[in-house]
């Protein structure tokens, strides 16, 4: 008999782009309705590198939160070649910086100020390891000689594996993994390495980018890979392994910026993310493992308590909105206009 409802501890989203200004005000409610906490990405312009910037951004997020929603933003610091380990430690001890985010320079949206050489950040990473502070990694090389579909696997070989050997005690989250190589690497590593998986990488492969023409709203970084990789991600997410947990990487851009020449990378998954995850677990006949993936594995890795509040999802078809209006222009959600099977009960 098919399960018609799921009750679980309220989940957290361990990878969110809330942007700022008009976009922040429009997209925050979608994340806050489903998730109690979220790791907030620091790739604003200018990036969030210091405590003052993180505190100011946190205040703007809380000011944009609709009344009646209980939501805690978990702030992160943007790692650069000249990041100050003392500033990172002060932010950590003050309870402001939950983690530090590593973007290889020019790897994705607003990453121009990112890391050009991992060796330049060793002083910061060594301090983080001593503090038990997680490093969140966008795992792609940016070498133009490397095929875009191979950049995650090459990053693991060239950057992540050597870093793990140098600092095995450093807690690392390999974010938004897209390949079987990433799954294998995380599974074979010690408990100081974990990974997040997005709803879109569980649902689409690279064919979605070219279905009947060029589909800019299916373009994200890391880009979706072959079907064999998508299936590997689904197996990992639904396996029950504590090494994998929920991180939507919801990344809104106005439709005009997605559909222009040299359009932006990013998929706006927040309007239906939790429901889409539930659908994947239902399809894989693994609903009994959904609470661990969505609500328990992430807090355990970050050393935080799981949420006590509970939520319920029901098997109740509904349609993802075609667009979301904002003062910066309309957004198109992931799977806009499509019917999905699960719905969060209010």
pLDDT tens-digit profile of 218-260?
A: 999 999 999 999 999 999 999 999 999 999 999 999 999 999 9
- Selection from 91, 110, 114, 92 nearest residue 101 by Cα: 114
For residue 155, what pLDDT is reported?
A: 98
pTM of the model: 0.97
CATH of domain 5-344: 3.20.20.140
For residue 106, what pLDDT is reported?
A: 86
Catalytic residues: 249
What is the distance between the alpha carbons of residues 39 and 12, in angstroms, rounded to a whole number?
A: 8
What is the distance between the alpha carbons of residues 236 and 229, in angstroms, rounded to a whole number?
A: 11
Instruction: Kindly list the domain boundaries of the chain, sorted by start residue.
Output: 5-344
| 343 contacts 5 by C-beta, under 8 angstroms | no
Bridge-partner residues for 315, per DSSP?
342
**Strand (E) positions, 56-205?**
72-78, 97-102, 135-137, 172-174, 193-197
Tell me the pLDDT band of 110, cut-offs 50, 70 and 90: confident
């Amino acid at each position: 008999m098919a399960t018609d409802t799921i009750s679980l501890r309220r989940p957290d989203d361990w990878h969110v782009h809330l942007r700022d200004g008009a976009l922040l005000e429009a997209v925050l409610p979608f994340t806050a309705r489903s998730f109690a906490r979220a790791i907030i990405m620091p790739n604003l312009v200018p990036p969030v590198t210091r405590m003052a910037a993180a505190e100011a951004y946190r205040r703007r997020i809380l000011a944009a939160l609709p009344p009646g929603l209980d939501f805690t933003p978990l702030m992160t610091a943007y790692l650069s070649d000249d990041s100050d380990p003392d500033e990172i430690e002060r932010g950590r001890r003050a309870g402001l910086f939950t983690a530090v985010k590593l973007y290889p320079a020019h790897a994705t949206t607003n990453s121009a100020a990112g890391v050009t050489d991992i060796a330049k950040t060793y002083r910061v990473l060594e301090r983080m390891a001593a503090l038990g502070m997680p490093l969140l990694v966008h795992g792609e090389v940016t070498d133009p000689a490397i095929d875009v579909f191979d950049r995650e696997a090459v990053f693991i070989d060239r950057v992540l594996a050597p870093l793990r050997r140098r600092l095995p005690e450093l807690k690392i989250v390999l974010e938004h993994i897209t390949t079987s190589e990433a799954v294998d690497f995380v599974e074979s590593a010690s408990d100081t390495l974990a990974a997040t998986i997005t709803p879109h990488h569980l649902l689409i492969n690279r064919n979605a980018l070219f279905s009947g023409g060029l589909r800019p709203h299916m373009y994200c970084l890391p880009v979706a890979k072959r079907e064999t990789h998508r299936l590997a991600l689904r197996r990992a997410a639904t396996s029950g392994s504590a090494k994998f947990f929920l991180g939507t990487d919801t990344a809104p851009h106005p439709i005009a910026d997605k559909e222009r020449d040299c359009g932006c990378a990013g998929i706006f998954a927040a309007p239906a993310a939790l429901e889409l995850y539930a659908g994947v677990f239902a399809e894989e006949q693994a609903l009994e493992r959904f609470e661990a993936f969505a609500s328990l594995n992430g807090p355990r890795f970050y050393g935080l308590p799981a949420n006590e509040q509970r939520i319920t999802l029901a098997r109740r078809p509904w349609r993802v909105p075609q667009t979301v209006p904002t003062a910066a222009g309309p957004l198109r959600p992931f799977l806009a206009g499509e019917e999905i099977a699960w719905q969060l009960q209010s």
